[in-house]
Amino acid sequence: MQEKATKNPKIAYVWDSIIEEVLGKEENGKKAVTSVRLKNVKTGAISEMKTDGVFMGIGHQPNTELFAGQLEMDSVGYLVTKGRSAYTNIPGVFAAGDVADSVYRQAVTAAGSGCAAAIDAERWLESQHD
Ligand SMILES: Cc1cc2nc3c(=O)[nH]c(=O)nc-3n(C[C@H](O)[C@H](O)[C@H](O)COP(=O)(O)OP(=O)(O)OC[C@H]3O[C@@H](n4cnc5c(N)ncnc54)[C@H](O)[C@@H]3O)c2cc1C
């Protein structure tokens, strides 16, 4: 990904910086982004960068630390499910969505796996009889 991005002449980088504020304007009842206020975390310098859009990229680390030592996970932290099911290593605990999917990580696949997990959970409860 990094290699692809650095080779793309349309992409420019602002290193060591965080967005402090997204700035915009409102015209005729319509809101639009006009710039972002950036802070260089090494120097503390504040700057403004013109842009008409902001898209957050949040990385690929699944947020599963709270299950460490309980639910089986791979080396990156994705929860491991049995075969195509939502079953985890703990009976009665099911995993669905991005936390259990290192391949697709899309809203529609997450929703589908949520449905599968609900069906698995319902069938598991049925199988418990009492
Ligand atoms: C910038 C961006 C753009 C995207 N664009 C697209 C797109 O165009 N099309 C597409 O299909 N997919 C897109 N995706 C991916 C899509 O958003 C995810 O695949 C989808 O949201 C995964 O759903 P989920 O329910 O598994 O996880 P999430 O939507 O991440 O939901 C997990 C929830 O769990 C909550 N949570 C976390 N920890 C705890 C805790 N300890 N206790 C209680 N709650 C907790 C979180 O607050 C969150 O609400 C995009 C993702 C990003 C970041």
pTM: 0.78
End-to-end CA distance of the chain: 51
Q: Relative to the CA of 101, which ligand 1 atom is closest?
A: 26
pLDDT on residue 58:
79
**Tens-digit pLDDT string for the chain (130 aa):** 889 999 999 999 999 999 999 999 999 999 999 999 999 999 999 999 999 999 988 778 899 999 999 999 999 999 999 999 999 999 999 999 999 999 999 999 999 999 999 999 999 999 998 6
HSE (side-chain half, CA atoms, 13 Å) at 49:
17
pLDDT of residue 94: 98
The one-letter amino acid at 69: G
Predicted pLDDT of residue 111: 98
Ligand 1 site, residue 47, Cβ cutoff 6 A: no
CA–centroid distance, 118 to ligand 1, in Å, is 18
- What is the pLDDT, as a whole number, of residue 77? 97
